[in-house]
Amino acid sequence: MKLFQAIKTGVFSFTQWFMKSPIIVKLFLVALVIAVGYFVMTKVTGNKTASVQYQMAVAEKGTIISTVSASGQVTSNNSAVVTTEASGVVTKIFVENGQKILAGDQIAEIEPDLEGKQRQAQAYASYQSAQNSLANTKANQYTSQADLFNNWDTYMKIAQNSTYTNSDGSPNTSNRDLPQYITTNDKWLAAETIYKNQANVLAQAQTSLNSAWLSYQQTSPIVYAPISGTITGLSLQIGSVLTAQSGSSGNSVSQTIARVKTDATPTVTVNLTEIDAPKIAIGDKATITLDALADKTFTGKVISIDTIGAVSSGVTTYPAIIKLDTDAPEIFANMSAQANIITDTKSDVLLVPNTSITKQNNESMVKIMKNGQISQVTVQTGISSDTQTEIVSGVAEGDTVVTGSTTPTTIRTTTTQSVFGSTRGGFGGIGR
């Protein structure tokens, strides 16, 4: 009873003192009580560390296909444009889209305007000039041929006389150093050279004539098909007006009015990196997908590789052309394409996931799980695909290989007992 009275008196005296104490003393005492209570009452129940978890796979035999991926576009080398330099009003249309035509067939007829007539007249004048040039070239060829024969005849008469030929018919080499013989010989050799060169001049004149005729056709009121095939992209209608087009230098420029598509299968041009280009060979098979036709996959083969390449912003690429195996009318020029080129295929080989292989000191390593223990072995690898790698040695069929692991972070749990009897997880606190 006396002890209880003493404690009660002590608590009352402390309370009176505390109430009269400065505020800084009160705050200090409160903080001290909280700190002591926390460190005394807190019980650390333990650190829980989860064990490492491994992802595994079984090494097994199968077929692996090694590919190189590249992107590019559908090229338009299976079609030709129908162009004209004529200007005026379309009066007739002889074909329609989807129609089969032959080279030289009429596509449309135009009633020329004044500028169209002027261009046509200039083109025809150039064609006539080319005709005259060809005729003059032919006349010069005849003249050079006659000179050749005359000089040859003169040379033979001198070369065969007794001054320059011995009695047994052999050349008299000493006399053939005389000026008369040398001059005659040089004349016929020069005539021969002129005649042969005239043949080249004649071929050039014929080419110029053909070019002049094609230029005239471009200005002609009749538009002709350049090749045989199927007409596509024809948007003209009777009454349409074609305006004359000119380049920056003032020269007339052709305008496209349609295309003629051949039966050749489409091709895709893709850009290979300098790492992938040496892996590709002519004839390699490929699968192609198009952004515009996402639900379809096409097949083809590599028919060309540009080994010179091109450099842009310090990056080198090597264009490769893939020819599709079949024609597809729904494939249009310049569509974006992705290709997977098959570089190698192997059957009945040991395979493991790519994620099971690591590199150490330029060696390939694989972790194997046996009897609950993990060991690391050096392996020799072969070809690989996007997901698997061929194992030549170091791993046996049926071995369990580690493809990955997860290590959960350490979890620290604590329980705090309040001085007032309440329990809180974590850092706890004073019960309220």
Give all domains of the chain, ordered by start, each with its CATH number.
2-49+412-425 (no CATH), 68-76+262-346 (2.40.30.170), 85-259 (1.10.287)
Instruction: Give the strand pairing for 423-425 and 411-417.
Output: antiparallel
pLDDT on residue 371: 85
pLDDT value at position 46? 43
Report which DSSP code applies to 344: E
Question: Tokens 């047994």 belong to which residue?
Answer: 168
Can you list the positions of beta strands (E) in 6-59? 42-48, 53-58
The answer to whether 91 touches 109, Cβ cutoff 8 Å, is: yes
**3-state DSSP assignment of residue 333:** coil
Q: Distance between CA atoms of 87 and 128, rounded to whole angstroms?
A: 22
CB of 109 closer than 8 Å to CB of 223: yes
Region of 172 on the Ramachandran plot (φ > 0 left; ψ -120 to 50 alpha; else beta): beta
Residue 187 CB coordination number (10 Å)? 16
Give residue-wise pLDDT tens across range 226-267.
899 999 889 889 998 988 877 666 677 788 889 998 888 889
pLDDT value at position 322?
Answer: 94
Burial (0-12, 13-18, 19+ Cβ within 10 Å), 50: exposed
- DSSP-derived 3-state class of residue 225: coil
Buried b (16+ CB within 10 A) or exposed e, 128-156: eebeebbeebeebbeebeebbeebeeebe
Burial category of 222 from C-beta neighbours within 10 Å (exposed 0-12, middle 13-18, buried 19 and up): middle
Listed residue (416, 426, 414) closest to 37, CA to CA: 416
What pLDDT is recorded for position 415?
Answer: 42
Residue ranges of the chain with pLDDT lower than 50?
Answer: 43-49, 410-432
DSSP 243-307: PPEE-TTS-EE-EEEEEEE-SSPPEEEEEEETTTGGG--TT-EEEEEETTEEEEEEEEEEEEE-S
267 contacts 78 by C-beta, under 8 angstroms: yes
Q: How far apart are CA 45 and CA 43, in angstroms?
A: 6
pTM score, whole prediction: 0.55
Residue 177 has a pLDDT of 83
Output the pLDDT for position 426. Answer: 41
Would you state the pLDDT for residue 36?
A: 62
The Cα 258–Cα 272 span in angstroms is 33
Q: Which amino acid is at 241?
A: V
Owner of token pair 């079984």: 58
* Residue 351: other Cβ atoms inside 10 A: 23
pLDDT at 4: 54
CB atoms inside a 10 Å sphere around CB 94? 15
User: What phi, psi does 99 have (nearest 5°)?
Assistant: -85, 140
Residue 352 neighbours by CB distance under 10 Å: 23
Rounded to whole angstroms, what are the CA distances from 218 to 89, 102, 121, 152, 407?
15, 18, 12, 47, 76
Q: How far apart are CA 270 and CA 30, in angstroms?
A: 76
**Distance from the first to the final alpha carbon of the chain:** 31
114: tokens are: 């004044």
How many whole angstroms separate alpha carbon 94 and alpha carbon 82? 14
Residue 422 pLDDT: 40
